[in-house]
Amino acid sequence: MSTENLDISRRKLLGTVGAAGAAGLALGAAGGAATYATAAGPAGTALATVGSTAVPFRGTHQAGILQPLQARGHLVAFDLAPGAGRKEATALMRRWSAVAERLMAGEPAGDGDTGVALDAGPSSLTVTFGFGASFFDRTGLVARRPAELDPLPAFSSDRLDARRSGGDLWVQIGADDALVAFHALRAVQKEAGAAAKVRWQMNGFNRSPGATAQPMTARNLMGQVDGTRNPKPSEPDFQERVFVPAGGDQPWMAGGSYAVVRRIRMLLDDWEKLPLERQERVIGRRKSDGAPLTGGGETTEIDLDRTGPDGKLVVPDNAHARISAPEQNGGAAMLRRPFSFHDGIGTDGTPDAGLLFIAWQADPRRGFVPVQRKLDRGDALSPFIRHEASGLFAVPGGPGEGEYVGQRLLEA
């Protein structure tokens, strides 16, 4: 009865709904987020778009990769419990898929729903699942472990905390409402039951919808426009850069992607002391609007060869935007879809804040790894950041009708 009650109360709010129209995609184009038609309920109420936007659970790709950045995010990694193996993992992925589908549609989690999301619509909730390299040992599926999951190399600037790194399983939750996101986090934890234990958990955030006049590229906590040069779905090589094609070594990963997760602390006390001009030379772009230092607007192509009156490169040798550009890395590219984090004040008295960097790519060995290698050697940003935790997860394609996430791995 409890679930029913909650269910009715929430449905009433949604009114008579039907999927309609594709929401604007911050990434540049292409769909993935359906919006409930603004529906007049019995009391003449209409859910605002922020709440009413629902992202489909099923599709070629899992949700949470192509959708616009959400205002609130939770990352949580689990380890399978001692004794749990393939059977328990299979049951877990079934349970998680079922609950994710319900929640993303704006329905209660099931019996004993906490009620935290009541009144609100789905608020663009996405729940995304991935598998770490250790998952394959634990489940006897080593033969199906993709080579793409080989451990990331150690980088000289790494200051990684093993307890906040890795994990058999990874769940990314994003929503435009903090209570909807928290509700989903608790539901996912509850469904883990005895099968898996939380290994680490992180919270993040981005701009609230409507805080800017129109959708704009995100800013990070250093104040920079961040995401400008992300691959765009409209570009011809977008799919092959971000998603695993069919016909590869591991057929179960077709339509999937690899997520590199790095908790990157920003040394803000130092950064904020740097004059604006020097901050801009660290990136190679203007802070105000993200335009290249070589001129134009945010989307103007950066001219890496241009020299100034002093004969020096306008975009410095070690500028982050130079070193990380695909042109400088044999075409290596990734889709960065981060959350900022801020966990108050660290034990050292400086802000425990930065970027929950999440990079999506078809193969980290042709995405994150070569770029980070280069950044590690000479990025002007390095003195102002610190990689504190790391994860690499295989995120399978989206579930088809009647499927659960990971079924093609676990039941093939």
- Site residues for ligand HEM, 221-250, by CB under 6 A, read 222, 224-229
Q: Kindly tell me which of 185 and 333 has the beta carbon lying closer to ligand HEM.
A: 333
* Sign, CA torsion 226/161/385/238: negative
**Position 191 contacts ligand HEM (CB under 6 A):** no
The DSSP symbol for 225 reads: B
* Sign, CA torsion 202/162/130/239: positive
Helix (H, G, I), strand (E, B) or coil at 386: strand
Q: Are 260 and 334 in contact (CB under 8 A)?
A: yes
Residue choice 250, 372, 390, 407 for contact with ligand HEM (CB under 6 A): 372
375 binds, among a second copy, ligand HEM, none (CB under 5 to 8 A by kind): ligand HEM
Least Å from the CB of residue 358 to a second copy = 17
Least Å from the CB of residue 130 to ligand HEM = 18
Q: Kindly tell me which of 175 and 332 has the beta carbon lying closer to ligand HEM.
A: 332
**Position 216 contacts a second copy (CB under 8 A):** yes
Burial of 143 (0-12, 13-18, 19+ CB in 10 A): exposed
**Position 272 contacts a second copy (CB under 8 A):** yes
Q: What are phi and psi of 108, to 5 degrees?
A: -65, 160
| Region from 187-195, 197-205, 216-224, 241-249 binding ligand HEM, contact rule CB under 6 A | 216-224
Q: Are 361 and 132 in contact (CB under 8 A)?
A: no
| Region from 1-9, 16-24, 320-328, 387-395 binding a second copy, contact rule CB under 8 A | 1-9
- Write out the two tokens for 241: 């850069």
Residue choice 205, 243, 252, 360 for contact with a second copy (CB under 8 A): 205
Which segments of 290-406 are extended strands (E)?
Answer: 335-336, 339-345, 351-361, 385-395
| Region from 133-141, 203-211, 308-316, 355-363 binding a second copy, contact rule CB under 8 A | 203-211
**Position 281 contacts ligand HEM (CB under 6 A):** no
For 259-277, letters b (16+ CB in 10 Å) and e give bbbbbbbbbbeebeeeeee
Tell me the residue number closest to ligand HEM, measured at CB.
229
**Position 368 contacts ligand HEM (CB under 6 A):** yes
Strands of the 19-22 sheet, one edge to the other: 19-22, 34-36, 53-54
Q: Taking CB under 8 A as the rule, which mask of x and - marks residues 123-162 in contact with a second copy?
A: x---------------------------------------
Residues 35-64 close enough to bind a second copy by CB under 8 A = 41, 45-51
The number of beta carbons lying within 10 Å of the beta carbon of residue 346 is 12
25 binds, among ligand HEM, a second copy, none (CB under 5 to 8 A by kind): none
Least Å from the CB of residue 319 to a second copy = 17
Q: Kindly tell me which of 164 and 285 has the beta carbon lying closer to ligand HEM.
A: 285
Least Å from the CB of residue 330 to ligand HEM = 13
CA–CA distances in Å: residue 133 to residues 85, 361, 391, 392 = 14, 16, 10, 8
Q: Are 87 and 215 in contact (CB under 8 A)?
A: no
Q: Kindly tell me which of 168 and 226 has the beta carbon lying closer to ligand HEM.
A: 226
**Position 285 contacts ligand HEM (CB under 6 A):** yes
Residues 339-368 close enough to bind a second copy by CB under 8 A = 340, 342-345, 349, 351, 353
Residues belonging to the active site: 226
Q: Kindly tell me which of 13 and 332 has the beta carbon lying closer to ligand HEM.
A: 332
Q: Which residues pair with 342 in a beta bridge?
A: 353
Residue choice 69, 385, 395, 405 for contact with ligand HEM (CB under 6 A): 385
Overall size of the chain counted in residues? 412
Residue choice 268, 304, 314, 334 for contact with a second copy (CB under 8 A): 268
Rounded to whole angstroms, the Cα distance separating 118 from 13 reads 9
Burial of 299 (0-12, 13-18, 19+ CB in 10 A): exposed
Tokens 């409209």 -> residue? 234
Interface contacts to ligand HEM, rule CB under 6 A? 220, 222, 224-229, 262, 264, 266, 283, 285, 290, 320-321, 324-326, 334, 354-355, 357, 368, 371-372, 375, 381, 385
